[in-house]
Structure 1
Amino acid sequence: MKELSGNYLKAIVEYGNISNAARALYISQPYLSKYIRNLEKEIGIELINRNVTPVTLTYAGERYLNYMEEIEQLYVKMKHEIEAITNMKKGRLKVGINPILGSHTLYNILPQFILNYPGIEIELIEENAISMESLLLQNKIDICLNLLPIFNPDIVYENLYEENVFLVIPPGHKFYNPDQKTVSHIPFHPRNLDREKFILLKPELGLRRLTDEIFKRYSIQPTIVIETQNIESAFRLATSGVGLTIIPEGVVKKDTIQTDSNYYTLGNPTYKNKVVVSYKKGEMLSASALAFLNMAKVTYQQI
């Protein structure tokens, strides 16, 4: 219950009032109001200022939230120490994973980790980049496989590998070259892609951040035909002629369907998809998270 109270108070402050906070927390407004009232009654003092807009915490509310965050950090530290004492014979590792990486990068690491540490229970959380950063900062996940760029200064990362991203041009498009059979650098200025039809990933996904950087650099205003969360769907739709797309090299390599599309790299230096392992700045990694990090780095040094 006390862990929930901290999350509830943070949500009320973030969203400005109880109604918006309840909606974001997927609970009813009357339930949240009653919860906070009962908590204030238990403590004996008001925790939120209800007479201002947006709602703010009272001084007591701020102190309460600070103590709850300290208690949560102490609990996490205790779990890490107990896990280390048992020599990782038992424990739990919460791994965040970018959906784009779930089908290939993770499974270059996970089977060996499970083999080496059979007593560690793995919980996978697949979320978009924004949600993943929030979960890391809230200590809801221990470590994360995701993509650059990462904008939050409270999250640090270690590089795993990088790969090219390709502009996919399907047969029939005005820029398609039937004689181009291999991957090459784009033979025309990217500015010419302005107003062209594109299939893009949703804005909250990591690769979309990189795509938007490319568009901004070359002053490209894409005509967005479809936005999807599935990178394979974007690839298949593009090769079917629905529009252009920008995808990682790994997606092309693992796709079993051969297409006659053109694949072009972009930028000077060339734009790359940069895969990293990230975690909260200043946070002591658990023994299992540290083992996962080291295994991931060794794995990709050998590939």
Structure 2
Amino acid sequence: MTERLTEFLTAINQFDTLTAAAQSLYVSQSYISRRLNNAEKEYGVRLVERQRIPVHLTYAGERLLSYLQREQQLQQAKLTEMNRLGEFKFGSISIGINQPLAATWLPQLLPDFYQVYPQIHTDLREVTTSKAEGMLLDGQLDVFIGKTIYHPQLESNPLGVMPLSLLVPQNSRLYRAGMFQRTATIQTISQLNGENFIAIGNESRFQEVVNHHFHDSGIHVNSRIEASDSRVAIQLALKQLGCVIVSQNMVASLDQKLPINIFNFDESLLSLDFSVAYRLAEMPSQTTARFVELCVEKAQRLINTVPM
């Protein structure tokens, strides 16, 4: 019944009336009302303010929903870990990582990790930061390496700051022949007004940083293409389809004979926080804690070779 109460409170948060909330869950309004009345008697507090439209959760209702959601996440994490332990008797760890990082970071981290846990099973998954957040919360991931996640139920250990670059194709008004590498300034950003721009859809946290910077600077670009990841975006920019912002390491190896300009941002102007994260619903396992320690130990050397 706890699971149903969670569904009911969540629906009430989303709809203006009990009837609409009930319809979204394919139950009757009277059934939701009875379940809420029983819960209010059980906990001794009012959970829903029903006297006016839209109906809404009381503070107690919001807090109860938060606890119920955390209980569900912890239950799912427990089942996931027990299933893995049943299958792998020497233990298992599930590691999520942003797509371009795996080839650089994992060969540096896993050999040392396996010296400590030589028989552990490791499940490696390349995921976006947004997806990783949900997977950490419900126990599908034990740890995640990538763009910093800000969530009260997750702990993010900083690994460093990732410098960024603006790639400008030849058909951009910012382009200057014979000036392959340039330093980005506030004026550079202001000149992006009206420029064709390639956004990076799957790396939404990355794009959020860029979008916020544009907004704060009063910049309005023409985001006519949304690429699946940074590598695809760079290839589209090389075909003169728009400007794109990516990590400096991704453009460092590009041929200087290409008809493009690369503007490198100072960290104080535009950069991206980089972390290793795990959930706080319970104390991390010994294996997770050791893996996090390895990430932090090696961060300063590895952050300079990240091909984001």
Contact conserved, 1:94 with 1:125, CA < 8 A, in 2?
no
**CA spacing shift, 1:230–1:91, aligned 2, 3 Å:** same
Q: Which residue of 1 aligns with 2:97?
A: 97
Show CA shifts across 1:244-293 (max 9, x none). Answer: 00001232246799734211123572422332112234741112211221
TM superposition score normalised by structure 2:
0.69
4+ aligned runs moved over 6 Å, structure 1: 17-22, 46-49, 59-65, 77-81, 254-258
Q: Which residue of 2 aligns with 1:193?
A: 192
Contact conserved, 1:162 with 1:275, CA < 8 A, in 2?
yes
Show CA shifts across 1:82-105 (max 9, x none). Answer: x99xxx962232333334544544
Q: Which residue of 1 aligns with 2:109?
A: 109
Contact conserved, 1:12 with 1:55, CA < 8 A, in 2?
no
**CA spacing shift, 1:179–1:68, aligned 2, 3 Å:** closer
Q: Which residue of 2 aligns with 1:25?
A: none
Q: Look up the SS of the partner of 2:191 in the other structure.
A: helix
Q: Which residue of 1 aligns with 2:123?
A: 122
TM superposition score normalised by structure 1:
0.70
Q: Which residue of 2 aligns with 1:147?
A: 147
**CA spacing shift, 1:9–1:62, aligned 2, 3 Å:** farther
Q: Distance in 1 between matches of 2:140 and 2:232?
A: 29
**CA spacing shift, 1:66–1:119, aligned 2, 3 Å:** same
1:288 and 2:287 are equivalent in the alignment: yes
Question: RMSD in angstroms over aligned alpha carbons?
Answer: 4.7
Contact conserved, 2:248 with 2:264, CA < 8 A, in 1?
no
Contact conserved, 1:114 with 1:120, CA < 8 A, in 2?
no
Q: Distance in 1 between matches of 2:207 and 2:284?
A: 29
Equivalent position amino acid for 2:227 in 1: T
| Residue segments in structure 2 that go unaligned for 5+ positions in a row | 41-46, 303-308
**CA spacing shift, 1:107–1:247, aligned 2, 3 Å:** farther
Q: Distance in 2 between matches of 1:258 and 1:106?
A: 32
Q: Distance in 1 between matches of 2:6 and 2:256?
A: 46
Contact conserved, 1:89 with 1:118, CA < 8 A, in 2?
no
How high is the sequence identity, in percent, across the aligned residues?
A: 18
Show CA shifts across 1:49-103 (max 9, x none). Answer: 8x8866869x99987984785586488679989x99xxx9622323333345445
Counterparts of 1:1-303 in structure 2, within 5 Å, are 8=7, 11-13=10-12, 15-16=14-15, 33=27, 66=67, 69-70=70-71, 73=74, 90-102=90-102, 104-106=104-106, 108-110=108-110, 113=113, 116-122=117-123, 124=125, 126-129=127-130, 131-148=131-148, 150-181=149-180, 183-186=181-184, 188-202=187-201, 205-253=204-252, 259-266=258-265, 269-281=268-280, 283-303=282-302
